[in-house]
Amino acid sequence: MIGEDRYCLDEIQQIHAARAALREVALLIIDQHVSEGLKIAASGIDNAQAVEDMMRVLRSA
């Protein structure tokens, strides 16, 4: 778009769309991770480590 000398607001809109799409992918990954972490926690296997791991991922999002 930049090389084509497109209208700058169109370029900004595309950047926002790309960021939103990446955020959705990140949320899907976090969802899967949290689901697996809860399964581990529910099974009684090292609950503290499962919670710590989930919190580390959530903080980085």
Overall pTM > 0.85: no
The distance from CA 48 to its chain's CA centroid, rounded to whole angstroms, is 22
Rg value, the chain, Cα: 18
Write down how long the chain is: 61
Q: Report the alpha-carbon distance of residue 7 to residue 5 in Å, rounded.
A: 7
Tens digit of pLDDT at every position of the chain (61 positions): 667 777 789 889 999 999 999 999 988 988 888 788 778 777 766 677 777 877 787 787 6
Give the type of residue at 23: R
Residue 34 burial (CB < 10 Å; 0-12/13-18/19+)?
middle
Instruction: Please give the pLDDT value at position 2.
Output: 64
